[in-house]
A and B are shown apart, each in its own frame.
Chain A
Amino acid sequence: DQQVKQNSPSLSVQEGRISILNCDYTNSMFDYFLWYKKYPAEGPTFLISISSIKDKNEDGRFTVFLNKSAKHLSLHIVPSQPGDSAVYFCAALPFNTDKLIFGTGTRLQVFP
């Protein structure tokens, strides 16, 4: 039972435009949501997080939006750069635990 879902396995975006990565979840008992970036043969790198009591968090080119009623969050990258090409995982942290639950990832490719 996949509690955190990323329904788009891949996304291709032109350099300079906006990349929007989506994530849906089924459990209302998540405290934090996080986005990680992963290059091949490397461990994930933390990008940005959002608390369940917020609906937006921004850090430079990265903005995460949370829609609790729809159980949906998204990561916006603007402007997209070729170096952003990687696999992006969303992850959710339930209340009272430090066990992250990961989505299946979306491969982003930013082309010139």
Chain B
Amino acid sequence: GAVVSQHPSRVICKSGTSVKIECRSLDFQATTMFWYRQFPKKSLMLMATSNEGSKATYEQGVEKDKFLINHASLTLSTLTVTSAHPEDSSFYICSARDRAGITWTQYFGPGTRLLVL
């Protein structure tokens, strides 16, 4: 099946620093990637939809200046958490939609655990 990777898998940073998380589709082209956030014992919350070559679409309540998304190629999307604070600590998961696939074919990355101290 299709593979989506995320890097890093885990990151610990100081409050106030910025952290970049990469999401790559390894064996398919993804015109659309999604970024989710999962709080402990909670559902996956869609943060934004990332479209290759255009601006990301953010869900209501998600600060676009806080969570910068760049989808520069058909295989790479990045999420940058700017000026991270402890409340940004969470599990961030990306998914990618196969360009050649039907609408609901989303493949998920393994996630990135962010801990802001």
Q: Which residues of A contact B (CB under 8 A)?
A: 2, 4, 9, 31-32, 34, 36, 41-46, 49, 89, 93, 98-105
5 interchain residue pairs of minimum CB distance: A43-B108, A102-B44, A104-B43, A102-B43, A44-B108
- CB neighbours (8 Å) of B97 from chain A are 98
Q: Which residues of B contact A (CB under 8 A)?
A: 4, 6, 9, 32, 34, 41-44, 46, 49, 91, 93-95, 97, 103-111, 113
Q: Return the contact of B93 from the options A31, A44, A98 (Cβ within 8 A).
A: A44
Q: Return the contact of B110 from the options A34, A43, A49 (Cβ within 8 A).
A: A43
When C-beta atoms are compared, the residue in chain B nearest to A96 turns out to be: B103
Closest Cβ of chain B to A27, distance in Å, is 15
> What is the CA–CA distance of A42 and B34 in the complex, to the nearest angstrom?
16
Known: A32-B104, A99-B46, A102-B43. 9 other contacts (CB 8 A): A36-B108, A42-B110, A43-B110, A49-B104, A93-B104, A98-B104, A103-B43, A104-B42, A104-B43
- CB neighbours (8 Å) of A105 from chain B are 41, 43
> What is the CA–CA distance of A31 and B111 in the complex, to the nearest angstrom?
27
Residue pair A41, B113 in contact (C-beta under 8 Å): yes
